[in-house]
Amino acid sequence: MGAKLTFLHAADLHLGAPFRGLRALSKTWAQRLISALPEAYDRVIDAALSRNVDFVVFAGDIFDNSHPSYGDYRHFFTGVERLREAGIPVYLCTGNHDPYTSWQNDLFALPDNAVMLPASKPGFALYRRGDEPLCLIGGRGFYSQAWPIDEDIASGITRTAALQALQDAEPDAGLAPFAVGILHTGFDLDLQKAPTDPAKLITAGMDYWALGHLHKKLVYPSPANPKAAFSGCIQGRDIKETGERGCFVVTLEEHVPLQLEFVPTASVVWEQIEVDISECSTVSEIPDLIMRALFRANGKAHCEEMCARITLVGSTGLHELLGRPGVLEDLRQHINDSYPEFFCDALLDATRRPLDKGALRAEGLFPSVFLNTARAQRANVADEVAYLQEEFLRKGMPLPASCVKRVDDLAAWAEDVVLDLLQGRDDRS
């Protein structure tokens, strides 16, 4: 049986970060959200302890700003000390939110089980299990909040470089079967934050790159072959950071494909939900549909509580009623009073009045001509995509892939918009 190694990879803890973008918030939920980030961090530590991992990696942005509060420092160091008591080392690098210079203060000294990789140059370490050299560690953090645009943050971080740097102090480092890289980087997706070429990482001789900065799960080159990964943030902070959030548990074993397990850590998950109310005949039926949608989303996100922004969609005779003052707010309050585990920060109306397209076609007037032309255009998806591509290029922008995937839905939506305008119904959301 070959050697085996298990470690936890987390990033973007953002301890001390405020929650942003909520449209309406009760005092109870305001307090709840304040506790969500430290709770998520505690769950990271709990996951490492329950799985008895060999070590833990924090790939930058442990704090949300360069001057964390005493309480945020204390909470982070308490978690690291819990790992020390269990004999679990920690390897970390700094991010653009908490660069290396911000750690040079006398609030705390890192516990002796924690190794911070340098920021001025690549740094290396050797993880041993007992006397056995098991894993080469290499990485680099942010020195200040900005990164030189002409410098590759991954430059000089390879398995070979690790062996050369460690050979004097650790003569048996070459016996370590595994190597792990740690970076806080924009990859090839954020060219302003220490970008690096993914292909270059793959050829550096590392078994796995633990990355931070992108706040979403991303595995490269594929989930079946995870050579580099962003674990995402451990707790969503606003309505843009929807879905489950957490960390990875990585298992390396000789002669066996790398295993990547995602561990949810967010106690409060954010969601943006569309609820089609086309089949509702009365307003009283809407809350039941919304609650079903909330429970479905909650089950998929593996969370205890959820903040949601809900948009009502569909063609419905209730459109006019929903536009009356106070109706949506009363519905929102009813939803929030029904289940304390869910909080709807905004209930939006994107419904439309029903259109009788058959009757419009039968009239033979301009709407009929428009509908027939639209039907002919929608029959050729390639032509629709080409048209969109040309329009985006005129604006100097690339056509988003999401538009290509939803071209038929967008065409149907545009058709309804035009019909509304032709009939003087320009009150659409």
What are 241-270's pLDDT values in tens digits?
998 999 999 999 999 999 999 999 998 999
Decide: 419 and 367 in contact? Cβ < 8 Å.
Answer: yes
Phi/psi of residue 272, each to 5°? -115, 120
Question: pLDDT at position 422, please?
Answer: 67
One DSSP character per residue, 68-132 reads --HHHHHHHHHHHHHHHHTT--EEEE--SSS-GGGG-SSS----TTEEEPPSSS-EEEEEEETTE
pLDDT band at 425 (very low <50, low <70, confident <90, very high): low
pLDDT value at position 24? 64
What's the pLDDT tens digit per position in 161-194?
Answer: 999 999 999 999 999 999 999 999 999 888 888 8
The tally of CA atoms less than 13 A away on the side-chain side of residue 351 is: 26
Q: Which of 202, 252, 191, 190 is nearest to 227 (CA)?
A: 202
pLDDT tens-place string over residues 178-237: 999 999 999 988 888 889 999 999 999 999 999 999 999 999 999 999 999 999 999 998
Three-class secondary structure assignment of 13-65: CCECCCCCCCCCCCHHHHHHHHHHHHHHHHHHHHHHHHCCCCEEEEECCCECC
pLDDT digits (tens, 9 = 90+) for 265-295: 998 999 999 999 999 999 999 999 999 999 9
Share of residues in the chain with pLDDT > 70 (%): 92
Q: Which residue has the higher pLDDT, 360 or 276?
A: 276
Give the E-state strand segments of 265-378 in sequence order.
268-276, 305-313, 342-349
Which is more confident, 156 or 345? 156
pLDDT value at 95 more than 90: yes
For 319, the token pair is 């459109």
Higher pLDDT, 175 or 417: 175
pLDDT band at 17 (very low <50, low <70, confident <90, very high): confident
pTM (predicted TM-score): 0.81
User: Among residues 254, 207, 215, which one has the least CA distance to residue 233?
Assistant: 215
